[in-house]
């Protein structure tokens, strides 16, 4: 090639060669540094998950039930834990609009994860319905408390209280029977069916707002089963490293949190809810999660009938106090004896304290469920945006 072709350049070829080699060396160093940073972020994420669930596991039974596992206060801590894990997971997954999530084998794992998100939205709807049921039970209890607090106490007040308490207990029992009823195996989405693959749904912001109702064919236990059915730990090769690991961890966190909520809050058809979820014991974060599963399973087995209307501590107290006060009301004679009045006041005080805890905790709990719903929806939309961008042909650089 004639040397005259290079006369337009004042930079020697040897210098250009050294510059290219230097650039490539710096690029490799930069890539190695980025990879190390990503590995550190992945390790930190799993450590933080383990630490947060260890804190939940450390909650021990107390005399007033404030920190008892499956109390309203404990469930609020559980949802806080989920929201913290979800925020950190999203930062790891889509940091810098990560294009890896659109490439195999990660794209398949992402597809399954987004499908779990859709199922999770249904469970949030069901939990919201269950919270409304608890609110109605609280109102029945408060009617009885008001009636039994009248002075002087007469037969009319006792009859009114007994009627409210019978309504309370019957409603909880009815919820129990409906929970154990047979349902269709057909999957029903609470926010309506979609044509085509759900993973490719698009929307402007949210899939749907939190719905006040779910289909009659819907089953909470089957929904949890569907979410955990294909939950398999990453194998060797490309799946054992990189982003596959945090996707698997967050999938387990999502399934466990919703499983615990379904166990605690009245939900449609939850009698066949499994007492254990498939979590490999060898993973560092799995220890506290398995420990929590075992404690919840123990609470489940303690009940005389599986599929009771929620294992929530406050629900169990509502039913227990209601039954006890009904029995006490049956023995009422006018004028009441001092011993009867003293016993009634003790039981009413316990019921009143339980209603106070429900009143203080139920609204924040429902707000957190709503936040989980919208957080899942928003994150899902962001991941779909990245998948869309990765699927578009890139513009050639001139």
| Cα 294 versus chain centre, distance | 18
Confidence at residue 173, expressed as pLDDT on a 0 to 100 scale:
82
Buried b (16+ CB within 10 A) or exposed e, 16-34: eeeeeeeeeeeeeeeeeee
77 part of a folded domain:
yes
With contact defined as beta carbons under 8 Å apart, do 78 and 56 qualify?
yes
Distance CA 98, CA 93 (A): 7
pTM exceeds cut of 0.95: no
**Is residue 388 helix, strand or coil?**
helix
| pLDDT score, position 112 | 94
Counting as low any pLDDT under 70, the low residues of the chain are: 1-35, 37-38, 60-67, 96-97, 175-215, 236-241, 303-308, 392-398
Judge contact between 265 and 131, C-beta under 8 A.
yes
- Greatest alpha-carbon span in the chain: 122
Position 160 in a domain: yes
Sign for the pseudo-dihedral over CA of 356, 162, 154, 139: positive
User: Residue 311: inside a domain, yes or no?
Assistant: yes
Place of tokens 């019978």: 166
Q: What is the pLDDT of residue 210?
A: 54
Q: Quote the crossing angle between the two packed helices 338-391 and 313-330, to the nearest 10°.
A: 150
Specify if 274 maps to a domain: yes
Q: Chain-centre distance of CA 180, in angstroms?
A: 22
Nearest to 269 by CA among 319, 231, 215: 215
Distance CA 109, CA 93 (A): 12
**What CA–CA distance (Å, rounded) separates 271 from 268?**
9
- The pLDDT, as a whole number, for residue 241 is 54
d(CA 31, CA 92): 17
Sort residue 337 into left (φ over 0), alpha (ψ -120 to 50) or beta. beta
CB 56 within 8 A of CB 74: yes
Number of domains, the chain: 1
Distance between CA atoms of residues 82 and 71, nearest Å: 17
If one counts every other C-beta atom within 10 angstroms of the C-beta of residue 75, the result is 23
Cis, peptide link before residue 335, omega less than 30° from 0: yes
Predicted pLDDT at 324: 96
**Token pair for residue 234?**
């990453």
Question: Do the domain assignments include residue 19?
Answer: no
End-to-end Cα spacing for the chain = 24
For residue range 172-195, what is the model confidence (pLDDT) as tens digits? Answer: 887 655 555 443 333 333 333 333
Q: How many helices (H) and strands (E) does the chain have?
A: 9, 0
Q: Is residue 220 part of a domain?
A: yes
Give the DSSP per-residue string, 36-102: HHHHHHHHHHHHHHHHHHHHHHT----TT-SS-TTSHHHHHHHHHHHHHHHHHHHHHHSTT--GGGG
Report yes or no on 336 lying in a domain: yes
Q: Give me the pLDDT at residue 394, please.
A: 52
Domain that holds residue 152: 31-57+67-189+204-391
Contacts of 264 by beta carbon, 8 Å cutoff, 6+ apart: 70, 75, 310, 311, 312
Q: Please state, for a pLDDT cut of 90, what percent of the chain lies above it.
A: 51
| 2 within some domain | no
């Amino acid at each position: 090639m004639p040397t005259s072709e290079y006369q337009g350049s004042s930079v020697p070829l040897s210098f250009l060669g050294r510059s290219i080699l230097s650039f490539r060396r710096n690029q490799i160093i930069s890539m190695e540094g980025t990879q190390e940073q990503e590995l550190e972020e992945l390790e930190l994420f799993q450590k933080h998950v383990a630490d947060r669930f260890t804190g939940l596991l450390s909650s021990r039974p107390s005399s007033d039930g404030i920190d008892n596992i499956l109390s309203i206060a404990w469930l609020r801590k559980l949802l806080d834990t989920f929201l913290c894990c979800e925020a950190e997971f999203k930062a790891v997954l889509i940091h810098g609009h990560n294009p890896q999530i659109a490439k195999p084998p990660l794209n398949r794992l992402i597809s399954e994860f987004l499908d779990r998100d859709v199922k999770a939205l249904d469970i949030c709807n069901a939990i919201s319905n269950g919270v409304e049921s608890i609110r109605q039970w609280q109102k029945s209890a408060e009617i009885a408390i008001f009636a039994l607090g009248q002075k002087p106490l007469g037969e009319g007040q006792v009859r009114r209280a007994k009627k409210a308490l019978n309504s309370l207990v019957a409603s909880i029992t009815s919820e129990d029977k409906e929970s154990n009823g047979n349902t269709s195996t057909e999957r029903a989405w609470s926010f309506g069916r979609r044509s085509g693959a759900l993973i490719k749904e698009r929307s402007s912001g949210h899939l749907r707002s939190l719905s006040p109702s779910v289909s009659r064919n819907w089953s909470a236990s089957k929904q949890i089963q569907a979410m955990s059915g294909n939950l398999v730990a990453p194998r060797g090769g490309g799946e054992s490293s990189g982003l596959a690991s945090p996707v698997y961890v967050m999938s387990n966190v999502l399934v466990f949190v919703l499983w615990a909520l379904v166990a605690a809050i009245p939900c449609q058809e939850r009698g066949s809810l499994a007492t254990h979820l498939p979590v490999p014991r060898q993973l560092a974060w799995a220890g506290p999660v398995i420990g929590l599963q075992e404690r919840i399973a123990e609470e489940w087995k303690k009940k005389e009938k599986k599929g009771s209307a929620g294992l929530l501590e406050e629900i169990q107290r509502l039913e227990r106090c209601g039954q006890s006060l009904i029995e006490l009301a049956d023995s009422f004679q006018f004028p009441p004896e001092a011993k009867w009045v003293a016993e009634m006041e003790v039981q009413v005080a316990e019921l009143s304290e339980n209603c106070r805890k429900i009143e203080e905790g139920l609204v924040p709990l429902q707000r957190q469920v709503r936040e989980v719903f919208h957080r899942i929806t928003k994150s899902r939309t962001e991941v779909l945006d990245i998948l869309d961008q990765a699927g578009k042909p890139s513009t050639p650089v001139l």
